[in-house]
Structure 1
Amino acid sequence: VVGESTAAGVGVAEHRQGLGAHLARALAHRHQNTVAWQIIGVNGIRALGLHRHLAGRPPADADLAVISLGVNDTTGVTRPSRYRQHLTDLIGTLRRNRPDLPVYLLAVPPMQHFTALPRPLRDLLGQRAAQLDRTQQTLAAQLHGVHHLAYPAIADPACLAEDGYHPSEKGYAYIADQVAGQLRPTTVSGAGADITRSP
C-alpha cells in the first residue's frame, strides 16, 4: 500500500490500527494464508511527490499494489491532466521490476463528507475530488492490469477520527474489508511487515 495520509495511517496511534494492517488481516482471512505487507505512506504528499519518493527507493517485490492518493492533489488544485500523468509515472515506477504487477487505485475520498471542513468549502472540494477520481477511473480502464476501487460508503460517524478528516481504526477496518473483497491476488505468501511511515 502506497500513498498519502490514509496509507500512512494518520488518525490512529499505531500501524496495526491502520489501512495496511487491516487489509493484510482481511486478505489473510479470506485466502487462509499468511500475508506479507509493506506500507509506504507520506502525510501530505501528492502523486508527483510520491512518484519521486519511490523512484529512489522502489518497494519490495509484491503480488499487488494499492495506491491511495488524491486528497492532497484535490486541495493542491492539481489539474486532472497532470494528475493522470503523475499517476501513470507512479504506476511505471511500481512496475519497474514486474511489468504485469496488478495495481489498484483506491477512489479519491468523497471530501464533501469530511466534517472538519466547513461548507461550502467541503462541497467544492468534494466536486474536485470526484473529478480526480473520474481521472483514475479512466486511467484504470485504459491501462492493462490497473483497477479502480470504489470508495466504501461510510455513514457511521465513528468511522472518522477525532480530527474529522481521517478514518478512525473502525473506519480503516471497514475500508480494508471492503477493499479486500475487490482484490484478486494471484498468490498470497510470506509473512511479516516492512513499514515506512513518514511524518
Structure 2
Amino acid sequence: MGFLPPLDVLVRLPLAPWMLLQGLRIKRKALILPEAAGPREGCSGKGSDLRVLIVGDSSGAGVGVADQKDALSGQLVAALEKTHRVGWKLVAKTGATTKSATVLLGSEPGTAYDVAVLALGVNDVAQLLFVSRWRARQTQLRNHLRARFKVRKIFVTAVPPLQHFPVLPSLLQWILGAHAARMNDALQEDIVNDADTHLVTIDLPFTPDAMASDGFHPSARTYALWGQIMADEITRTDIARHKIRS
C-alpha cells in the first residue's frame, strides 16, 4: 500500500484558487493594524545581567496593540526585570518568515545574547511551506543565532493553532491548523536532543478578548500571557541565574 497524504493536503490543489482569494482578503484585513510604537531595545531592572534577543513576525512586532510595552517585548521584559537587569532588543517585521527573519538578522551587529526568543511560523504556514523546508530554515536560524550572536538558550514559540483564528473561514482553519500542527511536531522532533533549545506552547483560551480587532493578531491580554509564560520558561533555566560569559 502506497503512502497517502493527509486529507487536508489532498484538497489543496483543487481548492487552490479559492484559498488564494481568501488569503488575499485576510491579508488585506490583517495588515490594517500597524506595528506597535515604542522602543525596540533597552535595558532595565536590577539583578544578574540577562541579554535577550526577540525575533519575530507581526506578532513579535506587536501588531494588535498600540505600544511595545503592551506587546510581547514589553510584557516579557516587564516579567524578567523583576529579578534581572535585562538588556534586550527586538528584531521583528510584519510578514516575516523564518527565512526573511534570518536575512534580517544578517544586518544586525553581532552582539552577544544569553537568550533568543522566537515568534515565527504563521507566515510559513500561510505559504504552506513544505515541512522539510520549514525544518531546514528553522535549523539555519538557530545555527545563525548561535554563531553570530553567541546565543546560549533559544526559546521557540510554537506555531499557534490557526484552526481557532476567528478571521479564517472554517475550511481554511482546518487546512492551516493541520499544517501548523505538523510543523510543530517536526520542530519538536528536531530539537529533542538540543539542550539549548526549548519549544514553548502558549495555551490560549480563545475567548473574544484573546484576539485583536482583526481576529488574527494577539490582544494585550494574550501578549501579557505570552510574555509571562516565556519569562517563566527562561527563569527556569540556569541561563537566567548567571551573567553572560565574556
Higher relative contact order (CA 8 A, sep 6+): 1
Structure 2 residue aligned with 1:3: 56
Structure 1 residue aligned with 2:78: 25
Matches within 5 A, 1:61-100: 61-97=112-148, 99=150
Aligned: 1:145 with 2:196? yes
Aligned residues: 188
Matches within 5 A, 1:28-177: 28-29=81-82, 32-58=83-109, 60-97=111-148, 99=150, 101-177=152-228
Q: Is the 8 A contact 1:9 1:19 kept in 2?
A: yes
Aligned: 1:12 with 2:73? no
Partners of 2:219 and 2:78 lie apart in 1 by 17
Distance 1:52-1:98 versus aligned 2 partners, 3 A rule: closer
Q: Structure 1 regions of 5+ residues with no counterpart?
A: 191-199
Q: State the 1:102 CA deviation.
A: 0.6
Partners of 1:20 and 1:187 lie apart in 2 by 20
**Which letter does structure 2 place at the counterpart of 1:16?**
K
> What is the Cα-based RMSD across aligned positions, in Å?
1.9
Structure 2 residue aligned with 1:186: 240
Structure 2 residue aligned with 1:194: none
Q: Is the 8 A contact 1:71 1:109 kept in 2?
A: yes
Percent sequence identity over aligned pairs = 31
Partners of 1:132 and 1:59 lie apart in 2 by 29
Partners of 2:129 and 2:108 lie apart in 1 by 24
Distance 1:146-1:154 versus aligned 2 partners, 3 A rule: same
Q: Structure 2 regions of 5+ residues with no counterpart?
A: 1-53
Distance 1:59-1:43 versus aligned 2 partners, 3 A rule: farther
3-state SS in 2 of match to 1:96: helix
Larger radius of gyration: 2
